[in-house]
Amino acid sequence: MKSFAPALSESPELEKIPLPPNPVAARFSKATQIFFVVLGSIAFAYFARPVMLPLLLAWVASMTLKPPVSWLRKCHFPNSLAAGIVLGFFLCVIGVGAMWLGRPAVEWAKSAPEQVPQLREKFKSILQPVMRFSAAASSVGDLDGGKSSTNAPPVAVKDNHMVGAMFIWTRSLVAGIAEAIVLAFLLLASGDSFMQKMAHIIPNRHDKKRAVEISREIQNSISRYLFTVSIINAGLGCAAGLGFWLVGMPNAAMWGGVAAILNFLPFFGPTMGMIVVGLAGLLAFDTVGGALLPVGVYLLLHMVESYFVTPFALGQRFSLSRVVIFIAFIFFAWLWGVFGALLAVPLLVTLKVICERVSALEPVSEILSP
């Protein structure tokens, strides 16, 4: 029997009716876009490392040195002269400190392998069970008669390739540091003019005022944070050096400088410092108790600095979640190496300041907070 009802698929009126938007599909599409933007940004930051690192290092250095430059400008010094004085003094301090700490460090590194047999004799009673276990494990490994070791192919060492790689790495490192120094001087000498030029591009007056306020708050917050952290780490190094000297640790000033430098690396820096100081204590002292005294001093000072001095000096505004710091440290260390690990916390502080000022990013600020 023939049906007189029109087919729904053939109705022209239904084809003109727009379908309602699917919120799930729209949300999925937006999340996909964000994912690819983040992935592309990470890839860009990784491959643009020779350009990104000098820029970020110069920016961090300019933020750290901004307070003394501003003070000299208030004393009627020209911008370029104030920037040159502060940056030159900063570089001189780093150079003198590297020479002062580098010489005993090189001497200790040369003499340490020669003292290993003496260390074995000192702690022979403690190391005997470990040596017996190692000998038993090696005897178990030699049950095949040593056939596997005799058939191992010789390893060819490519000295020329290693020397060439070291030369290229050193040249790129020196070039990057030189670029960062020049750019830091230009940023310090420009003062607020660069920020004003960037704000002048924004057409809307309200947005322009808001951008200037956010930029000034970022500059003030980051300069205060980095300057305060640098002073705290320098004080920690002086206190550690004094504590090492009181317990009779050789080269106490050198180890105090090591403690100050490594404290810029969260989590891993103090841990590495305690391990190295413990090894140096084993070489310097005749007893295990005496060797652990410098480590105890280091641990005590680090706990005082982490739980009392730094929170009191920086306040709740600059406090960050330790989980977020740890993840950011690992990520930036993988992305940019040692310099990335140094930049992890300043970048997190910058992100937190921006998120606190932008209402749409307040949930991110809550995640970064402890």
Average the pLDDT over 239-260 and give the result: 88
Please state, in angstroms and as integers, the Cα–Cα distance from residue 58 to each residue in 87, 173, 176, 349, following that order. 11, 14, 10, 17
Task: Tell me the pLDDT of the chain averaged across its residues.
Answer: 75
8 Å CB contact between 255 and 249: yes
Distance CA 33, CA 82 (A): 46
What are the residue ranges spanned by the domains of the chain?
49-119+170-191
pLDDT value at 99 more than 70: yes
pLDDT value at 14 more than 70: no
Distance CA 282, CA 10 (A): 90
* 252: phi then psi, degrees, rounded to nearest 5: -65, -40
Lowest mean pLDDT among 14-23, 61-70, 187-196, 223-232: 14-23
DSSP 157: P
The radius of gyration of the chain's CA atoms, rounded to the nearest angstrom, is 29
Distance CA 251, CA 242 (A): 11
pLDDT digits (tens, 9 = 90+) for 296-307: 999 999 999 888
pLDDT digits (tens, 9 = 90+) for 305-349: 888 888 888 766 667 788 888 888 888 888 888 888 888 888 888
Run of H or E residues at 191:
none
Lowest mean pLDDT among 82-91, 109-118, 311-320, 325-334: 109-118
pLDDT in the model for residue 284: 79
pLDDT in the model for residue 132: 57
Tell me which residue of 104, 45, 57 sits closest to 331, measured CA to CA.
45
pLDDT value at 149 more than 50: no
Tell me which residue of 70, 78, 58, 370 sits closest to 220, measured CA to CA.
70
Which carries the bigger pLDDT value, residue 240 or residue 195? 240
pLDDT in the model for residue 242: 93
Distance CA 272, CA 192 (A): 40
Please state, in angstroms and as integers, the Cα–Cα distance from residue 9 to each residue in 1, 12, 128, 359, following that order. 20, 8, 88, 48
8 Å CB contact between 277 and 255: yes
